[in-house]
Amino acid sequence: MRTKSKTQVLRNEPGAPEKEEEMELLGKSREDLREWLAGIGAPAYRGDQIYRALYQERNFEIEKMTVLPGELRERLARESTITLPTVRQRYFSKDGSVRYLFGLGDKPNEKFDTETQSSQRKTEEQIGRTASRVALVEAVWMPSENRQTICISTQAGCAVDCQFCMTAQLGLIRNLTAGEIVGQILVALKENEEERLNTENMEGGNTEGTQKSRDRKQTNVVLMGQGEPLLNYENVMAAMRIVLDKKGVGLAPKHVTLSTSGIVPGIEKLAKEAVRPKLAISLNASNDEQRDALMPINKKYSLKELLAACKKFPTGSREYITFEYVLLGGVNDTADDARRVARLMSGLGRVKVNLIPWNPGALPYKEPTEEAVAEFHRILLEKGVPAFTRYSRGRDVMAACGQLALGEMKNSPQSSVISIR
């Protein structure tokens, strides 16, 4: 969704003179906004006010930022824009989860074919030329009694080519900007916050103010959607600094997790960040031979290199590095695999393993048996490795781990098509 003034729309009509490129406000840091405002002759502190309006108040319409003087709002309406991801479609799971199909770079009435995107395996040069093109990505909102978790994408498609993941079938389309990354979080929060407030009002409840109602549920964010976050490092970290800033979105680092396939230079770079999300490693194999076949990135960064980087990664007194292990029936789910994984964890410090039974999709794998999952889990615990079995949510609407591949599910009675305005 792109917020524009009526003046801007008229100036873009056919035959109208070309205007200068607008300043995109979403995804900009507080310092960036202060510098830009000062550069156009406004007081720098107006950047602080816009920053608060965007990320704390979730106000995405310049005209409604009434803390700003009218003359400045008029100028911002002419010279800047706030572009949120457009909700192309929502898919509602029986378990309460919502899979969002987002359009990025949307223009009014512009159509986009998911089949076109899924066939675009581009060279780096081609990707660079299409960096601002319309793309589709997915995010998932997962509510529970006392918290909500938002799974977001960091790239359109993915180049890592994990063999068991549907997103790999898309190839890499392009990196997402900082605004497109943080925008997924803001849309999910805004939508579901408004729905909750409406429900409370209908039931006659006293919300005691929007901010208090927002704070009732703990919000977790996981960078586990489409893409490899550490291959879009600068944009991802720009978004995370906004998300983790108390004056921005305001989430605590312990509630945000970045998952990587094992990009060792990126892990080493992340370790040096003053403020950063927690680290999760997508492991999925118990030795190099197995991981080479399942995750070709292992041929570049072997298990030895990956685990060495994890061993050096700084963790807080209550922080763990999470290792995610997708269990593929008959492939990596044996008792011997479990014992090898336990040995890999030895000496790494504070770690835990999340076991994720594979979620069905159009790939040549099968789910592990309940017995295999239980035995794998038991062996890890027996070897002193903290382990948890995680059954993914949203499987019925292709929103579960490894299923995000722009599936349209046109026949789903639970889908809701949103028009582009």
What is the token pair recorded at 116? 């076109």
Question: Catalytic residue at 203?
Answer: no
Q: CB under 8 Å to 104, separation ≥6 — which residues?
A: 85, 86, 134, 135, 136, 137, 156, 176, 180
Phi, psi of 347 (to 5 degrees): 85, 5
The active-site residue out of 138, 180, 228, 324 is: 138
Alpha-carbon distance of 65 to 59, in angstroms, equals: 7
Eight-state DSSP code of residue 150: E
Q: 261, 92, 238: which is closest to 172 by C-alpha?
A: 261
Strands (E), 64-192: 80-83, 86-92, 98-104, 135-143, 147-151, 155-157, 172-175
> H or E element: which one contains 76?
helix 70-79
Pairing of strands 98-104, 155-157: unpaired
Count of CB atoms situated within 10 Å of the CB of 383: 15
Angle between helices 178-202 and 45-55 in degrees, nearest 10: 60
Q: Residue 146's Cα: distance from chain center in Å?
A: 21
Q: DSSP E strands: which ranges in 198-342?
A: 218-223, 256-260, 278-282, 321-327
Is 138 marked active-site? yes
Task: Estimate to the nearest angstrom the gap between the alpha carbon of 340 and the chain centroid.
Answer: 31
Give 376's DSSP letter: H
Active-site pick, 268, 367, 401, 408: 401
Spatial distance between the Cα atoms of 125 and 105, rounded to a whole number of angstroms: 20
- State the pairing for strand pair 135-143/147-151: antiparallel
C-alpha 100/C-alpha 105 separation (Å) is 16
Structure tokens at 305: 């290199």
Q: What are phi and psi of 394, to 5 degrees?
A: 75, 20
Q: H or E stretch including 242?
A: helix 233-244
Catalytic residues: 138, 401
